[in-house]
Structure 1
Amino acid sequence: MAGNSGEAGGRSVAGRVFAVLEAFDGERESLRLAEIARHADLPAPTALRMVRELVAWGALERQRDGGYRLGRRLWSLGALAPCLRRIRELAQPALQELHERTGQTALVAALDGRSALLLDRLPGAAVQSSPFQVRVGGRMDLHATAVGRVLLAFAPEALVREVTAGLAAAGARHTRYTVVAPGRLARELAAVRRGGVGYARREMQPAYGAAAVPVFHPDGSLLAALGLVVPAPVDPARYEGRLREAGRLMAAEVARSVVAEQAAGNAVGNAAGNTASTG
């Protein structure tokens, strides 16, 4: 299509739109036009045109301070992704129990590229009153969050190397507690694999710590990470038992779902076979 070619380094219209949307992540939830243009590597006039069209469609929202953030229509579309929606549904009983038994923020995340994608969360009182909140659908660092560290621990080695190489970047350190030494991160990931639980203490924000456990599919692949965020004075290890219980609960929900889907598939197959034999 002729309308998809051209400016901004030869990128298509779709490519430029994606570049604008990818400028927003867990660390950059609100951006001004100049920042969008810089992160998307677009000329200011092109960025302005893209942003206006995305605002009109509902993918971006204009804020009172002149900045922009991702719009609700985009979040709604993302929530329709069948795989992610299913993981979110399966996590509900575990999230509810973890939240009710601890009073802290319970969350579930899945691996998405080089980030942890927040699928759902039930906020505790401490996080509700905090200005730092990653929204559902937002992304979090793999190296500096508990859920991210759990996801990274069981990720392909190529991704581990890529994330480790990025520790030298200026934006990798969020607080003075953030792990940015490759050797230290390797030890943290080894501890997750060995012990089945990951921690991040004051690494994204000095006021919070977190713990997370992996949730596996019956085929052995990692499905998600279930986590808990607590105020920094509280040691997240205090809730390790509750967190492990919630992880087992979610894994059981996943296993039941797989068995039910297999049974439904067998029933359909048997019905089709019976129809063919009597036809």
Structure 2
Amino acid sequence: MSSITRLLSILDLFSETRPFLSAEDVGAELDCSIPTAYRYVRELVDAGLLVRFAGGDYGLGPRIIKLDYHLRVSDPLLAAGQPVMRELSEHSGFDIVMSRWYGNELVDTHRETHDTSLDLRYGRGRPRPLFLGAASKAVLSTFPKAKLAALFDQYPDDIAQSGLGATLEDFRASLLKIRRAGFYLSRDELETGVSALGSPLFTDDSGEAVGALAVIVPTQRLEFANLERLVESVKEAAARISQRTRAVIESRQSGGVGSPNSASRARKSA
């Protein structure tokens, strides 16, 4: 592991249950000397990625907030998705959530709230379980065979407990049904009393989803909801967001407004 990788890996040590760390904690986690740990955290403090508190512990710094802002304004899926999500929330009367798959994590990136009394356990930035819930299963259903095999090798127990199958063949067969349907309905999988309808989101024509759009429905309201209409609504909204995202990406790649090429041309003409 390179020194820069070790340095940045310190950021992964912070979590909801462990928001503060000492240099000694860092040294123990990275299996490095205390002087080296102090040097690492000082570099991260200088970069604004960590901040030192009076007691000597360290926490995540203000640069993280700035990076999150830049991520939100530059994410083409968010740019294309937010207006559609607002529209879907208004028409359906339910909350709408967008989730993105990063590496081997599924993270919520945006929520359009309709029911302010609905307190969801997961929110922007908090990873979801990989194999539970409408969003995760909608995304997984689009993955190629090799990627599913790699996930099954790594998480066989989690996959079996999620109801997706105890063998790779069963796992793939379960996801193929979801893929053919174009959506997945979860009932109380992540939170008691909370169900969701999820459909995959795409940024290219590879057929592999990068995220999912989900309508969040209190389980007690499912029997009164027009599920057929909700399914068509979330599938149509996901398709529109995917199409608009492709257009945004193509525009940026061709030097449209907001692309690096357009910014460079503007500087040269100034």
TM-score between both structures, scaled by the size of structure 1: 0.66
Gap change, CA 1:30 and 1:180, over 3 Å in 2: farther
1:197 touches 1:214 (CA, 8 Å); kept in 2? yes
- Structure 2 unmatched ranges of 5 or more: 257-270
1:23 touches 1:39 (CA, 8 Å); kept in 2? no
SS of the residue aligned with 2:110?
strand
Asked if 1:249 corresponds to 2:235, the answer is: no
Gap change, CA 1:250 and 1:207, over 3 Å in 2: same
Equivalent residue, structure 2, for 1:145: 133
Question: CA offsets per residue over residues 109-128 of structure 1, 9 Å max, x none?
Answer: 23211122333222343675
Question: d(CA) in 2 for partners of 1:41 and 1:84?
Answer: 33
Alpha-carbon offset, residue 248 of structure 1: 3.0
| Percentage of pairs with the same residue | 23
SS of the residue aligned with 1:143?
coil
2:90 touches 2:114 (CA, 8 Å); kept in 1? no
Alpha-carbon offset, residue 164 of structure 1: 2.1
Equivalent residue, structure 1, for 2:197: 211
SS of the residue aligned with 1:125?
coil
2:72 touches 2:78 (CA, 8 Å); kept in 1? no
Alpha-carbon offset, residue 240 of structure 1: 1.7
Equivalent residue, structure 1, for 2:143: 155
Gap change, CA 1:216 and 1:128, over 3 Å in 2: same
- Structure 1 unmatched ranges of 5 or more: 1-10, 266-279
Q: 1:134 aligns with which of 115, 118, 123?
A: 123
Q: 1:164 aligns with which of 141, 149, 152?
A: 152
SS of the residue aligned with 1:33?
coil
Matches within 5 A, 1:184-203: 185-203=171-189
Gap change, CA 1:142 and 1:14, over 3 Å in 2: same
Question: d(CA) in 1 for partners of 2:128 and 2:136?
Answer: 7
Alpha-carbon offset, residue 254 of structure 1: 3.5
SS of the residue aligned with 2:16?
coil
Question: d(CA) in 2 for partners of 1:117 and 1:230?
Answer: 19
Gap change, CA 1:15 and 1:258, over 3 Å in 2: closer
Question: d(CA) in 1 for partners of 2:193 and 2:60?
Answer: 26
Alpha-carbon offset, residue 182 of structure 1: 3.4
Question: d(CA) in 1 for partners of 2:104 and 2:90?
Answer: 31
Question: d(CA) in 2 for partners of 1:243 and 1:50?
Answer: 46
Alpha-carbon offset, residue 261 of structure 1: 6.3
Q: For 2:21, give the aligned amino acid.
A: L
Equivalent residue, structure 2, for 1:7: none
TM-score between both structures, scaled by the size of structure 2: 0.68
Alpha-carbon offset, residue 202 of structure 1: 2.5
Deviation larger for 153-162 or 41-50 = 41-50
Equivalent residue, structure 2, for 1:182: 166
Alpha-carbon offset, residue 197 of structure 1: 0.3
Question: CA offsets per residue over residues 55-77 of structure 1, 9 Å max, x none?
Answer: 664435789xx997755532432
Question: CA offsets per residue over residues 190-229 of structure 1, 9 Å max, x none?
Answer: 2221100023333333342222112334634435321223
Equivalent residue, structure 1, for 2:88: 98
Deviation larger for 243-252 or 45-54 = 45-54
Asked if 1:122 corresponds to 2:112, the answer is: yes
| Alignment size in residue pairs | 243
Question: d(CA) in 2 for partners of 1:141 and 1:97?
Answer: 28
